[in-house]
Structure 1
């Protein structure tokens, strides 16, 4: 019996010597890698999941957010600070009212591959939140207002897929017209080496508005207001939210009248009435050819000036880490300091993918 036991042990030892060392080393290496990678990634996400106060305000021209001029627009509104852009979200329309971002040559020099991660915004109260199910089989795309291609990091890219950054967009409007306008604004930055401030969002210009899902309102049009400080060029794209492929360039004052929003409070009325020939495609942007002046809008009603105290109060809303809501009962102090479920999912997903790649390399 003792001999049998010894021979069994010897056999196992030989088998282990042939294959086990590699397995153990692989497991040890994988475990060490998992720990190190996990620590690094979690720290990365925790530190960057909450944008700093200055980073939030940097997305606005002269650090001043757009201002809602109608009290009704403020109902169930949520000022949300994301990595790389800011949103004024409406719990009434379940879409953003505006999305602001600052594009710079440095920002757009950092390119990352697209990784879709559409998700619901957990900082918004459940009853006001757009749901993934709202868009399914609706006939409308989940249209980014701050586009994924503007994002220089994994964290900002993940943020851009929040439904708080989306509107129901007609497929051709989203996939052709809007894509080309987004490419054109990036071309201004990259080809002409200019900083560009953008405010993008939906227009609700009909008495009877269509909804999808559980109350997500479909906009009648989408807009993108543009201001280039170095040259003074200003104007806005305005595109019907249908498959007509139509788009026009209007003044910022024209938009402000339609929206009841002061899009750039730090600009004068004269600056907002000046309208430039904004490019409709990236190919129209030339490195050494400034955007030409188009016309003066003498007819539209510009938004009224806003008191400094009100602008400062709005700045404070966006300097709160992680965003806030004007429904004070739902405001969560230090909410941004906690990594929410969506971000945790992103960490786990990246961790698993990297581990699998590492294990495959070991097996080779």
Structure 2
């Protein structure tokens, strides 16, 4: 009898742990994706948020604050570890946005429907699906790009729709791609390779796709902070209007100020206070 009770307790504990994919805070669940384990403050939190420790193949790869109402991420936070590899195929969704009793790992829509008798309508209530983007005129734009990861599993994990926003095609394929691939490589040369923390976000706009289901962001932004090889701390940032093929390279402090203006909020803080706010000159890219 005692053994049965012990096994029951272990089983119950495992069930509780299985509900940690959509979490109550990043600090207590997946703080490793933030510099000094310090997520952004509450200034950017939407009305109906979901904190997601993005899990694939039983491993956490990044963190996303998701806006259930607008069906786009507010931001995704990750550690920059670029490497060669093929671009993954297919799009994933987050089961625990539907019900926290569903699996922690990401699934395709079809696999989730078959395995758990979930309807397409149930999935669409809580998040965007790939079909929302079809014939919309907008790219499925990654916040956390697959090219910033060096394993097949970590690249696959970025192909969740909770990491995707409608992005201007020219911006996504030209100026923003240049920033992701060239500017980030240049900026990170002075960093310790395993200590480069990035947060990429989207500011909700005034239009939508898929009959009003998915918000089209007005701006896309990125901030980064790293410990350098000289044991100092460096930071930089960028922001782009989602209607233009142009990026504004700015300091972290300038980005926080601009986001404060766009959100109508004061004291936006994206990184730990050790990350310098006034480095880097403003320039076009």
Query: Matched residues in 2 for 1:67 and 1:239: separation?
Result: 22
Map of 2:273 onto structure 1: 267
Shift of 1:174: 0.4
Contact 2:64 2:163 in 1 (8 A): yes
Partner of 2:234 in structure 1?
233
- Distance, in Å, in 2 between the alignment partners of 1:238 and 1:96 is 16
Residues 83-122 of structure 1 aligned to structure 2 (within 5 Å): 83-103=60-80, 107-108=81-82, 110-122=83-95
Distance 2:34 2:284 in 1: 23
Q: Does 1:247 align with 2:247?
A: yes
For 2:283 and 2:219, the matched residues in 1 are separated by: 19
Q: Deviations over 1:79-131 (max 9, x none)?
A: 1112332100110111110111122xxx33x4322222222332223312111
- Residue 216 of structure 1 corresponds to 214
How is 1:263-302 mapped onto 2 (pairs within 5 angstroms)?
263-264=270-271, 266-267=272-273, 271-272=276-277, 274-277=278-281
Q: CA deviation at 1:198?
A: 1.2
Matched length: 220
- Using the alignment, how far apart are the partners of 1:179 and 1:54 within structure 2? 33
Please tell me whether residue 186 in structure 1 is matched to residue 185 in structure 2. Answer: yes
For residues 190-224 of structure 1, give each alpha carbon's deviation from its aligned partner in whole angstroms, at most 9, with x where no partner exists. Answer: x43533221111123x5xx1110151000111000
Which consecutive unaligned segments of at least 5 residues does structure 2 have?
1-20, 22-26, 55-59, 99-122
Change (3 A) 1:232 1:279: farther
CA shift in 2, pair 1:129/1:245, >3 Å: same
Tell me which structure has the larger Cα radius of gyration: 1
> Any idea what the Cα deviations from partners look like across 1:8-56, whole Å, max 9, x if unmatched?
xxxxxxxxxxxxxxxxxxxxxxxxxxxxxxxxxxxxxxxxxx8xx9993
Which is richer in helix? 1
* Residue 51 (structure 2) aligns with: 79
SS at match of 1:156: helix
| Alpha-carbon distance, 1:69 to partner | 2.1
Superposition RMSD on alpha carbons, in Å? 3.0
Distance (Å, rounded) in 2 between the aligned partners of 1:96 and 1:228: 23
8 A Cα contact 1:145 1:165, kept in partner: yes
**CA contact 1:233–1:276 (8 Å) conserved in 2:** no
- Residue 278 of structure 1 deviates from its aligned partner by 7.7
Write the distance in 2 (CA, Å) between the matches of 1:134 and 1:78: 20
> For 2:281 and 2:178, how far apart are their aligned partners in 1?
15
List aligned pairs for 1:23-38, cutoff 5 A. Answer: none
Does the 8 Å CA contact 2:224/2:235 hold for their aligned counterparts? yes
Conserved 8 A contact 1:144-1:166: yes
Q: TM-score, normalised by structure 2?
A: 0.68
Which structure: greater strand fraction? 2
